[in-house]
Amino acid sequence: MRVALLTGASSGMGFAVARRMGEEGYSLILNSRDPSEAVRRLEAEGYKAVGVPGDLAEPVTAEALLRAAERFGRLDALLLNHGGPPVKPLLEISEEEWRRYFELMVVGPLRLLRLLVPLFRRSGGGRVVAITSFTTKSPYPGAGLSNSLRAALLNALKTAALELGPEGILVNAVAPGYILTERIAEWNRAHAEREGVTEEEIARRTTASIPLRRYGKPEEAAEVAVFLLSPRNGYLTGQQVLVDGGLAV
Ligand SMILES: NC(=O)c1ccc[n+]([C@@H]2O[C@H](COP(=O)([O-])OP(=O)(O)OC[C@H]3O[C@@H](n4cnc5c(N)ncnc54)[C@H](OP(=O)(O)O)[C@@H]3O)[C@@H](O)[C@H]2O)c1
């Protein structure tokens, strides 16, 4: 049975990817700080899932995830995801915050990739997808941590695609635009506060700016990630696919 390991998988897009990978017949290793409820829901739906709780920024989490994958004896797909960083003006981001989110958004995902590559090799190749953001293409005011750190991860992953391609390990990113999850409520609250308007006004302006005139659904972003994570993706690597309703074309 094919095995998928997913971080940030207890809600939003990560959970939607996990469920679709379950439907595709993968055994699932789910990580987030508390994946227990997500594991329970997926098992209730008939999918094979185990949870590995832990913060992606911490080395012990990557080591626990490696042990879980080794128990399955193979790995076919890896989703790199986590929660979004705080929204605040660039010059209000402290040095401590830059370091903390660099650990979570750059060092953590790359550490996990490094630990898992030998297992991909033993499995004859694999697929890796990171959830990034449209802000890597169109930096957004108030989103300095996301704009900067996701761009760093994206270029590191493009490098991984170049270096791991000869071994059949395909590495890509999915950049969401505005996808209706808990994160959007948080984002709207923060920007409403920053701009001194209501959350409804932020939502109205946002949807008016999207060519498709609506938020995306987590399942719509997940569908693209699942394609990139599956063997149906045979020849696409080193790419970032925007799933943004046409926002940042
Ligand atoms: N929604 C959007 O429109 C949008 C747009 C652009 C970019 N993004 C980015 O895409 C990613 C996913 O977004 P989403 O909307 O699906 O977010 P979400 O619903 O908030 O889900 C985030 C997931 O990451 C887990 N998580 C949080 N911190 C973690 C950590 N330190 N280590 C491991 N897991 C962690 C959360 O579970 P626990 O709380 O159990 O840890 C949860 O499962 C986020 O980084 C977000 O900023 C989202």
Structural domain includes residue 122: yes
pLDDT at 49: 98
Q: Please state the rounded mean pLDDT for residues 131-150.
A: 96
Structural domain includes residue 11: yes
Structural domain includes residue 128: yes
Would you say residue 17 has pLDDT above 90?
yes
CA of 144 to the centre of ligand 1 (A): 17
Structural domain includes residue 204: no
Q: Which residue range is the domain that position 227 belongs to?
A: 3-177+217-243
CA of 7 to the centre of ligand 1 (A): 9
pLDDT at 220: 98
Q: Please state the rounded mean pLDDT for residues 11-16.
A: 98
Q: Please state the rounded mean pLDDT for residues 35-39.
A: 98
Mutate to test the pocket of ligand 1, among 60, 65, 79, 82 (most ligand atoms within 8 A of CB): 82
b (16+ CB within 10 A) / e for 44-57: eeebebbbbebebb
Full DSSP string of 162-180 = HHHGGGTEEEEEEEESSB-
pTM for the structure as a whole? 0.97
Structural domain includes residue 209: no
CA of 182 to the centre of ligand 1 (A): 8
Structural domain includes residue 184: no
Q: What is the CATH number of the domain that holds 80?
A: 3.40.50.720
What is each CA distance from 50 to 26, 81, 102, 142, 203, in whole angstroms?
A: 12, 17, 28, 36, 36
Would you say residue 226 has pLDDT above 90?
yes
Would you say residue 249 has pLDDT above 90?
no
pLDDT at 194: 85
Ligand 1 site residues (CB inside 6 A) read 7-14, 31-34, 55-57, 81-84, 104, 131, 133, 176, 178-179, 181-184
User: Over the stretch 83-93, which tens digit does the pLDDT of each residue have?
Assistant: 999 999 999 99
CA angle 221, 170, 84 (to 5 degrees): 40
Structural domain count, the chain: 1
Quote the CA–CA distance of 150 and 243 in Å, as a whole number: 16
Structural domain includes residue 197: no
Structural domain includes residue 223: yes
With beta carbons less than 8 A apart as the criterion, state whether 52 and 18 touch. no
